[in-house]
């Protein structure tokens, strides 16, 4: 959960400098999509303990949604939920948010395999190994209020500019 919050905060901070706040929600959602795609894998893995008849492949088939090709597919699917006139911008924000998620993930190191960013074209795993995958947990109590405060200030200052105009 801390990783998901960190990704959301990074997305908000990334978009703070832009003139228009439009698309921030879909951008933040895009940063969450790759990790949300892991929920079915966790669910089926847990269910297999009590129901061994559940096929094992249901636990692992979701992995490709956490690579660029999967981000594109998820973003396309979610963008279809938007109105026609918003669909293109939503897709772009979702994809860019998803790619920001992957960029932040590449900074981490893992005890297992890194990220297969070129899957299905290559199985070479990527990771820079600058921070541990659990290193974001202590950051959340600082990052969440800081991000909220900065976003509130940015919103307040842009709302004040709009009122004056």
pLDDT tens-place values along the chain, 165 residues long: 567 788 888 888 888 877 566 688 889 999 999 988 888 988 998 998 888 898 988 888 888 888 899 999 999 999 999 999 999 999 999 999 999 999 888 887 766 666 777 777 777 777 777 877 677 788 888 888 988 888 888 777 776 655 444
108 phi/psi in degrees, rounded to 5:
-85, 165
Q: Which two tokens stand for residue 35?
A: 């990790």
**Could you tell me the sign of the dihedral formed by the alpha carbons of 94, 59, 121, 114, in that order?**
positive
Strand-pair partners of 119: none
CA count, 13 A, side-chain hemisphere, 126 = 15
CB contact at 8 A, 132 and 108: yes
Q: CA-CA distance, 60 to 139, in Å (whole number)? A: 30
Helix (H, G, I), strand (E, B) or coil at 39: helix
Q: pTM of the entire structure?
A: 0.81
Q: Where are the domains of the chain?
A: 2-164
Strand-pair partners of 126: 115
């Amino acid at each position: 959960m801390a990783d998901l919050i960190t990704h959301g905060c990074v997305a908000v901070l990334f978009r703070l400098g832009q003139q228009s706040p439009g698309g921030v929600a879909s951008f933040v959602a895009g940063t969450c999509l790759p990790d949300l795609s892991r929920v079915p894998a966790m669910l089926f893995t847990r269910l297999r303990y009590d129901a061994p008849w559940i096929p094992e492949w249901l636990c692992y088939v979701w992995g490709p949604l956490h690579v660029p090709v999967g981000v594109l597919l998820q973003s396309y699917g979610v963008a279809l939920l938007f109105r026609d006139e918003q669909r293109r911008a939503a897709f772009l924000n979702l994809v860019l948010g998803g790619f920001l998620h992957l960029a932040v993930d590449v900074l981490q190191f893992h005890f297992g395999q890194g990220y297969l960013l070129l899957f299905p074209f290559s199985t070479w795993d990527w990771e820079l190994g600058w921070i541990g995958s659990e290193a974001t947990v202590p950051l959340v109590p600082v990052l969440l209020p800081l991000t909220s405060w900065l976003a509130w200030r940015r919103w307040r200052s842009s709302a004040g500019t709009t009122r004056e105009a």
